[in-house]
Amino acid sequence: MDHAILVNNLSKRYRLGKRGTAKYATLRESIMDSISSARSRIKTLLRPSAGQRHSGNSVWALKDVSFTLRPGESLGIIGRNGAGKSTLLKVLSRITAPTNGLIRLQGRVSSLLEVGTGFHPELTGRENVFLSGAISGMSRTEIKRKFDKIVEFAEIGEFLDTPVKRYSSGMYVRLAFAVAAHTDPDILVIDEVLSVGDLAFQRKCMEHTKALIKKNVTLLFVSHNMFSIKAMCDRSLYLSKGALRLDGATEDAIGLYEQESRLDTPSWAQNVVGLDPTQCAIHVTKVELLDEKGDARSVYDFGQRMRVRLSYRVRGDLRSPNVNVCFLRSDNVACCNYNTAMDGFSTSLMGQEGVIELLTPPIKLVAELYSMQVLVWDNAFQRLYCAQEGPSFHVRHGLLNTQFGVFHEKGDWRLCATP
């Protein structure tokens, strides 16, 4: 077997808008819809329009995506929101049918997509183990044999006979991953859902997944956490507006992703401030990383000061905004935060647009790759006006790395006389 997954010119189109007031289509409507769909496909083939994603009342969530995966290979899938990542996984998981293209999958596929997929909210955790296992292709005998291992991995034994509608999202994920990982899959498909769990369980899932890969299981992994992508996958796809932009080394895919997603709203803040930062009361239009003299930099030596220059535009009613600059390690751990409220800087003179600059103290973070987020709160940290992704930078040191913790400050030492 030379491949576990073969995808050739895969496309998926969704119709926009409502179907109509009728709950069910008549036979005549179904026939006319089929004829109309056939005509549309013929027109598309005869008159292809490269790069066109929207067409009338439809949108191409995926357009001519092709790749192959060998058994035991792990593939990261990276892209901004709406790029087509989840649609690709749903098509490969047979949850939705493709519009065009060819897919060949070798072996059993186990998928972990949205929280609660394959679960019935009224059933208990115990009952859902059997339900989800059966959906994944396991026999009842096989589920019984693996039941104790699944429950032990999920760490929810005391809630096993509780209806899952009362579970937290983290408990959902624990049970769902435990079932998916113990179906002896040939292909394991994981969406962003793992970010819901706590950090300890995320690490546990990653270690278990790595063990499966060593057993020749093929992995498809979607995440906005670039640390997880780098840890799990040497190769990645970068999707943009439904099209495959890059199929190559994970570092290259991450570089393209960071370049194109700069100043986007981070995923955790989208439900609060929305997807489009330009529609917020204030938004950052440009972020520049400089050294103390004002020269552009992306690599800083340990102990060097950083100058962060933020260009902004105000479009709503805003009084004394509290501007925050946060540094995050590559595993999304927030390492430090500078903000105008706690640093005693008044923003009352900020105009409708302008530039505000931060000069940090000497950077004492250990050598690592860091990303930046720019947030604008009120002074009480109660209302979030805006949140945006900033550029990445490296801190350089010959010895200090993450084995020494997050930062290093010089301490005062002395020898004390023994009693």
Task: Give all domains of the chain, ordered by start, each with its CATH number.
Answer: 5-16+58-261 (3.40.50.300), 267-404 (2.70.50.60)
Q: How confident is residue 145, by pLDDT bands cut at 50, 70 and 90? A: very high
Q: How confident is residue 172, by pLDDT bands cut at 50, 70 and 90? A: confident
Whether the predicted pLDDT of 168 surpasses 70: yes
Whether the predicted pLDDT of 370 surpasses 50: yes
Distance between CA atoms of residues 258 and 237, nearest Å: 14
Which are the contacts of 339, defined by CB distance < 8 A and separation ≥ 6?
Answer: 322, 323, 324, 325, 377
Q: How confident is residue 262, by pLDDT bands cut at 50, 70 and 90? A: confident
Q: Report whether 395 contacts 367 (CB < 8 A).
A: yes
Question: Angle 154-177-256 (CA atoms, 0-180°, nearest 5)?
Answer: 135
Over the range 203-227, which residues count as b (16 or more CB within 10 Å of their CB) and which as e?
Answer: ebbbeebeebbeeebbbbbbbbbbb
- CA-to-CA dists, residue 350 to 285, 355, 357, angstroms: 15, 9, 12
Question: What was the pLDDT predicted at 206?
Answer: 83
Strands 187-190 and 218-222: parallel
User: Model's pTM, two decimal places?
Assistant: 0.66
Strand partners, 356: 310
pLDDT tens digits for 56-102? Answer: 578 899 999 999 999 999 999 998 777 899 899 989 988 889 999 99
Q: Report whether 95 contacts 113 (CB < 8 A).
A: yes
Question: What average pLDDT does the structure give for the chain?
Answer: 85
Whether the predicted pLDDT of 178 surpasses 90: no
pLDDT tens digits for 270-327? Answer: 999 998 999 999 999 999 999 999 999 989 999 999 999 999 999 888 888 999 999 9
Question: Angle 260-262-267 (CA atoms, 0-180°, nearest 5)?
Answer: 100
Mean pLDDT (whole number) for 353-377: 94
Return the DSSP state at 94.
Answer: T
Q: What are the start-end ranges of the E strands in 267-392? A: 282-291, 299-301, 306-314, 322-329, 334-339, 353-359, 368-377, 384-389
Question: What was the pLDDT predicted at 51?
Answer: 47
Q: Report whether 275 contacts 263 (CB < 8 A).
A: no
Percent of the chain whose pLDDT exceeds 90: 44
Distance between CA atoms of residues 406 and 228, nearest Å: 18
Question: What was the pLDDT predicted at 52?
Answer: 53
